[in-house]
Structure 1
Amino acid sequence: MEKQTIKNLSEEYLMWLQVERRFAQSSIVSYRSRLKCFVRDVGDIDLSEFTMEHIFKLKQILYKRENSEVFIGVCLACIKGLLKYYRDQYSITLKINPDLITIPKRPRREVVFLTSEEIQRFRDSIDINPICGLRFRTLTEVLLGTGMRISEALSLDRTSIDFETKEALVIGKGSKQRTIFFNEESIMWIKLYLERRTDKNPALFITTGKNRLTNQDNTRYFKRQRKIAGINKKVTPHCLRHCFASHLAFNNCPFTEIKTLCGHERLDTTIKYYIGLTDKSRAKQAHEQYLKY
């Protein structure tokens, strides 16, 4: 049998992840990048000769570069998955037990969200006179009004939205279909944006070059707008998703409904991210109300 190296088996493994495990395209792109980095840094190892020394070498390199725990975790999960795939699909006995490769625990990330006043400042700072400004304001309102992931929002076509029911079907994380709901404000901005468009492109959000907008196209807009609005927080599309969920929680929306609206697979994911926020808010209110000397 032909020698199987990381480079030889990568595309087959990635296709398997996409088809059998329903990995999102963004995850496939990330895994492909990590596998190429491994080959560059450690070598295109024959998988049947792979040992724990190779893993240790990778960890040394990543820690020396001061990569984040999350980045290191994805790198290790990627190579661990490739080794398990090779072992199980090809019935090969490996020199390494992939199950012994430990993945660093992800540190709990602080949920960054904007206050109502900051949201309004961000909105008001957007110049909607140029079409790109109107597009950015519309995207902002769609993210705030639906809680969609940016990949879901950018996958929308004009025909995806039922303007009567204010709903749309999207393919979310794990290639799962879900229904998302628009508020009146987001629908209004979508209509304003589409009225200004003169092209036939079916995509809801497009570049000035008439191609479907990508998340990379948006990065600079969010960074620039945050500075214009005078907001000292990192404002990203995911931050607006946190705004959506956080403000629902502050307004006493049940966590089961927030889970559905955000498209979380597990209720404990929703609770893990957002229950601490409401606890902190209530604790502060109690401190102000009851602390008397």
Structure 2
Amino acid sequence: MSCGVCYEADKRIQGFSPKTLKAYALQHKMLVLELGNLDVTEVTLTTLKEYLAKQAVRLKPNSLGHRIRFVRSLFRYAYEETYLTSNPSLKLREPKLDKRIPKFLIEEDVIHLKISCQSLRERALLEFLYSTGCRIGEVEKINAEDINWENCSVIVNGKGSKQREVYFTTECKVWLKKYLSSCTDSCKALFVACQLLDNGAPLDFIQGMLGHEKASTTQIYAQLRGERRRELYRRYF
């Protein structure tokens, strides 16, 4: 479709991550393969529903939802940029998702994970992930010099290049200091990326668990700022 290349360029200019851009490019490719040489102005709501109905046969509701969001985003762009006089995707609705009980770590799980660590690096990484709630991808971008040791905090770059301040415990600080004192390389990264990928099942388990917080808790925490956030963090830990 004629607007596809411009759409991808627009998202690149907006600063979307390479991973997101790659996902958008794949979604666009699949849409073009299905619709063929059909011009964007010839696409109707029925056309889109037929396309998505075929996808629904083999996709899980969550994946189908991603596809629908992409289609809506693409055609909203086409409409706003005047490729279209009306938006055929407006009435597309995402499938309802089953509500699942979120998984979480209990204190006993954490103790077992700490015991299973076989090096200072593993223990320091485990403590950092657990106390900050950071994603693996966020930890990869942190340099040792970024850490504010006085406040036990660090600024991390999250999804969509959004920054936030996270905090870690005194126990985590102790293990980070021990780990950094043992390092003999000159790499600036707090944890070398290739090492993160080689930590084994326990850390993968933690990564998965950290992504399942209660939505209500996350929304409340996201509204807190500065000293108030730090005060509540200290009280909690």
TM-score, structure 1 as length reference: 0.64
Q: 1:90 aligns with which of 78, 82, 91?
A: 82
CA separation of 1:42 and 1:112: change in aligned 2, threshold 3 A: farther
Matched position secondary structure for 1:100: coil
For residues 189 and 42 of structure 1, the distance between their equivalents in structure 2, rounded to whole angstroms, comes to 56
Aligned partner of 2:9 in structure 1 is 12
Aligned partner of 2:137 in structure 1 is 151
For residues 104 and 144 of structure 2, the distance between their equivalents in structure 1, rounded to whole angstroms, comes to 29
Identity of aligned residues (%): 26
Q: Which moved more, 1:151-160 or 1:80-89?
A: 151-160
CA separation of 1:241 and 1:77: change in aligned 2, threshold 3 A: closer
Matched position secondary structure for 2:137: helix
CA separation of 1:124 and 1:40: change in aligned 2, threshold 3 A: farther
Aligned partner of 1:100 in structure 2 is 91
Q: Which runs of 5+ in 2 are unaligned?
A: 225-237
**Which letter does structure 1 place at the counterpart of 2:73?**
G
Report the number of matched residues.
Answer: 223
Instruction: Work out whether residues 42 and 57 of structure 1, in 8 Å CA contact, stay in contact via their aligned partners in 2.
Output: no
Q: Residue by residue, what CA displacement relative to the aligned partner does 1:165-206 show, whole Å, maximum 9, x if unpaired?
A: 211112334433321111112222222332232222222121
Instruction: Work out whether residues 3 and 83 of structure 2, in 8 Å CA contact, stay in contact via their aligned partners in 1.
Output: no
Q: Residue by residue, what CA displacement relative to the aligned partner does 1:238-293 show, whole Å, maximum 9, x if unpaired?
A: 41355xx67xxxxxxx958x833xxx369xxxxxxxxxxxxxxxxxxxxxxxxxxx
1:46 pairs with 2:39:
yes
Q: 2:209 aligns with which of 225, 239, 243?
A: 239
CA separation of 1:98 and 1:60: change in aligned 2, threshold 3 A: closer
Aligned partner of 2:68 in structure 1 is 76
Q: 2:26 aligns with which of 33, 43, 55?
A: 33
Q: Residue by residue, what CA displacement relative to the aligned partner does 1:131-161 show, whole Å, maximum 9, x if unpaired?
A: xxx4343222111111223332222111110
Matched position secondary structure for 2:154: strand
Matched position secondary structure for 1:179: strand
Q: Which runs of 5+ in 1 are unaligned?
A: 129-133, 227-233, 247-253, 267-293
Instruction: Work out whether residues 135 and 210 of structure 2, in 8 Å CA contact, stay in contact via their aligned partners in 1.
Output: no
Tell me which of the two structures has the higher relative contact order, counting C-alpha pairs closer than 8 angstroms and 6 or more residues apart.
2
CA separation of 1:63 and 1:155: change in aligned 2, threshold 3 A: same
For residues 118 and 10 of structure 1, the distance between their equivalents in structure 2, rounded to whole angstroms, comes to 46
Aligned partner of 1:141 in structure 2 is 127
**Which letter does structure 1 place at the counterpart of 2:179?**
Y
**Which letter does structure 2 place at the counterpart of 1:55?**
L
Q: Residue by residue, what CA displacement relative to the aligned partner does 1:62-102 show, whole Å, maximum 9, x if unpaired?
A: 2222x2211111111011101110110235324x5221121
